[in-house]
């Protein structure tokens, strides 16, 4: 049995685990950060919670005799991704990054690029009005000082304390349909959308809805994560499964 550790918390990590769990000769362990109240659990072993930094992850790789490490975390999960690169190198475990391609702007999109949440917040301050904010709870703080906007905040788990001046919340987990996203933007009288360039299909409908309604989108760029020269990156669950098959 060869053990595969999938760093997850994404739709594709879930799909990859479900796909590999019945492959003879492989044992799949999915790892979740443990932040979501009711996470969708894939088949196979699931562990939850941080490893304790790079050293902790490297120790886990050795102690659990992990043969392959697949980092299928979210494109904005920069810390665990950096830890994966360093820990895989320390423990001499082959590492694959499964990373969704970025969304590219279409001709009619009205995107305003932001390097990070701080820059996105500055753009919101300039624009004001009613803003659909689709960032994580840990990123709300950047928008705390804004007084000229009402934020419609959508996230999987709404935190007990929302550090915003004027807001309403929607607790929801994707995927979202185009019709629902258009209805949401229209009914909430949204004049600006803030999104992270997550890529993938599950949350793309809001971008298409904004395009159809002619609304601007503050699009937050992905953080840069240094990869080692030997790190391999694939864009699909299919390609990740092929990599594993070929490596075995």
In the complex, which residues of this chain contact ligand NAP (CB under 6 A)? 7-10, 31-33, 35, 50-53, 56-57, 73-74, 76-80, 83, 136, 196
In degrees, rounded to 5, the angle at the alpha carbon of residue 185 between the alpha carbons of residues 183 and 187 is 60
Report which residue's Cβ sits closest to ligand NAP. 50
What is d(CA 191, CA 210) in angstroms, rounded to the nearest whole number?
A: 9
C-beta of 139: minimal distance to ligand NAP in Å? 8
Choice between 40 and 212, CB closer to ligand NAP: 40
Tokens of 97: 């990054």
C-beta of 147: minimal distance to ligand NAP in Å? 26
C-beta of 120: minimal distance to ligand NAP in Å? 13
C-beta of 41: minimal distance to ligand NAP in Å? 13
DSSP for residue 171: E
Choice between 58 and 149, CB closer to ligand NAP: 58
Q: Which residues pair with 46 in a beta bridge?
A: 30
* Count of beta carbons in the 10 Å neighbourhood of residue 65: 11
Backbone angles phi, psi at 30, to 5 degrees: -100, 135
Tokens of 72: 């299928």
What is d(CA 7, CA 69) in angstroms, rounded to the nearest whole number?
A: 8
Choice between 33 and 185, CB closer to ligand NAP: 33
Choice between 50 and 128, CB closer to ligand NAP: 50
C-beta of 124: minimal distance to ligand NAP in Å? 18
Q: Which residues pair with 71 in a beta bridge?
A: 7, 97
Choice between 9 and 42, CB closer to ligand NAP: 9
Query: Of 21, 139, 8, which Cα lies nearest the Cα of 71?
Result: 8
Choice between 202 and 213, CB closer to ligand NAP: 202
Helices 178-187, 205-213: crossing angle, 10 deg rounding: 50
C-beta of 215: minimal distance to ligand NAP in Å? 22
Backbone angles phi, psi at 224, to 5 degrees: -85, 130
């Amino acid at each position: 049995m060869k053990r595969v550790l999938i760093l997850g918390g994404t739709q594709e990590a879930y799909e990859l685990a479900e796909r590999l769990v019945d492959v003879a000769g492989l044992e799949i362990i999915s790892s979740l950060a443990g932040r979501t109240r009711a996470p969708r659990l894939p088949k196979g072993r699931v562990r939850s919670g941080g490893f304790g930094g790079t050293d902790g992850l490297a120790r886990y790789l050795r102690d659990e005799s992990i043969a392959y490490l697949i980092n299928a975390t979210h494109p904005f999960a920069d810390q665990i991704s950096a830890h994966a690169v360093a820990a895989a190198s320390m423990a001499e475990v082959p590492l694959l990054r499964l990373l969704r391609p970025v969304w590219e702007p279409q001709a009619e999109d009205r995107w305003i690029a932001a390097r990070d949440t701080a820059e996105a917040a500055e753009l919101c301050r300039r624009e004001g009005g009613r803003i659909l904010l689709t960032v994580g709870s840990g990123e709300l703080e950047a928008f705390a000082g804004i007084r000229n906007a009402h934020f419609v905040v959508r996230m999987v788990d709404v935190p007990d304390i929302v550090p915003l001046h004027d807001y309403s919340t929607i607790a929801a987990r994707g995927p979202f349909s185009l019709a629902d996203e258009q209805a949401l933007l229209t009914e909430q009288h949204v004049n600006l959308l803030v999104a992270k360039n997550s890529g993938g299909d599950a949350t793309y409908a809001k971008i298409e809805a904004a395009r159809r309604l002619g609304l601007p989108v503050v699009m937050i760029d992905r953080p840069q994560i240094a990869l080692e020269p030997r790190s391999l990156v694939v864009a699909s669950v299919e390609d990740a499964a092929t990599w594993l098959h070929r490596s075995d």
